[in-house]
Structure 1
């Protein structure tokens, strides 16, 4: 399946026109949504705070919307990811028995969400992702999702690569746990197709909920597994790099205003490399303001950046502190601003690790919401030697509920 650049330009323009015309929605990540995503049904009590604002949305719900590519600068501030879909509506009062019994086995269209992400850096690398997801509610209250999109990867020394993903996902309850699964195929303009799949299990351990439905405290353990193409940049796709990743995550809502999230990932690559990633975040809310501390480590067995194309440090450490504000600018517009100051260590040398982010959510109508965000970071995504690194990301998301 080979297409000319002109044909792909037409397809890209059509995709963006459809995005604007249908008001669909975006992210990593999601993108969404490999191992760590929340397109499936949220954990029933642990992820529902009962607060109409976004300032007390648990970190786990906000972190798990897109794939954990922790190297990406935006992942050092998980709270700036696009907000999750609203929690499921409470069951209706069934005190009056229905007069007619109907079989409701057909899936019901619940939402359409389109994610947009445009990533660039000062070395000319560029990744563009536009991925709509359609979600259906099944008769057993599980969800079924269909995702496709238009992704474009470009860097100065390689011919660009275009990717059309197709993925089917299912999410539902298994006992007291939530299971999310997905399987799909990535179609490329000049590379062989590649299969992918993911699975994630969330298990609430301890949950305390106020009579109002607000989450007071709770602990959720998660386990995730994913396999697929490593969409780090055009070079990793050119080299057909694939990876397995698996590991646990912990989310702890300590009290109404304090939360802790930690995740550990082990990865195995088809080029013989392996990695360990860890990320931890402690966050405290003070009204419309919040402070947080982030810690990230990344260790590879081998540095294959020159041969395989992906950032593979033998020893990489980032820690920073974050100050953020979030509030309503107008009754239909909510925004969040954040700045991070810290340090990063690569090959034993310390350097500043700073970033800033902004995101706004607009309530367009009762059933339509749209997000737009921007972030800039000098946290390294590649070994630049003595040169400074700067990466920026423009993200958007449109959510339509039915």
Structure 2
């Protein structure tokens, strides 16, 4: 696309900025331009793209199921983030012989030259995108090469659907080019169909089957020893505007739970220093290698890919991007698998089907007062909330694994 070509100089500059911020790896920057040192394996190569941690976790059971069905099939996994890449690396370390059939690359930026270079080298048999990762240039390039494209766990919030609808005269009809869409819920299915997708089905949310987030056990043991018996509350994946509300709630708890340790894990770690400025005292920052001391009431966990660690340290957790409009929420399934009592704000439309699946098991929060009251109740009378957390995990365990019908659809793409 002409726009992608025009943006090439800016994208090169952006890559360098991301590199300085720790969001890229120097030795792998060429992958963002479609270059690689790896050879393409022989035979069928299925390409799966996942944006970041949650999406990557969600496709791992799917890959295992497909690999069992097809013992010679190869898998190319692309991610947009370093944390997603780390999930693939950890999976490969535990996947045994399957790891020999897995290749990870960072997805190239959506520029015609870089996309062409990527497709010329890898020649995938089919492409499976996840959630709302719809790259117009890549979709069009695959269509021109007769590479079938499906969407897994397809998600389009009302806000995103309206945005795509408004742009329908400015972008090619990419939704009509999708071979199939496996929507995570009926509303998402309706949004894709309204935008022109022709073969839309619902198989539920793949994230419900994803494994719990990984953890470095040595680090977990060390931090548990350092924190001791102090009660721990986690504010997970917070976004701008929420931290102030959370800090007001924590201030209300100082009299009733004076030794409470609050971990604030911003969705974007670069915000860690900004959050620190909201406090009178200087809190320890995970990005600086600092752990919470006995007198620290706040620990800012501004690091990537460690939510599995922080969830395991906490007696209860609030899921961010949900207290301030427009929000959107975040995936509750991963912490639910760890039996962590959970709460969320009202603005969680991006994950509405997930929260509906856990109705009555995730506490609704509207304000700092609600949050303070909920934390207080969990810490002082934990058994009812632990029971809810156990029910949430049991509900997920009772769900079907990767649907056979979805595996059949994918197989049809690779014929």
Give the TM-score normalised by the residue count of structure 2: 0.24
- Max Rg structure: 2
Name the one with the larger strand percent.
1
Give the TM-score normalised by the residue count of structure 1: 0.24
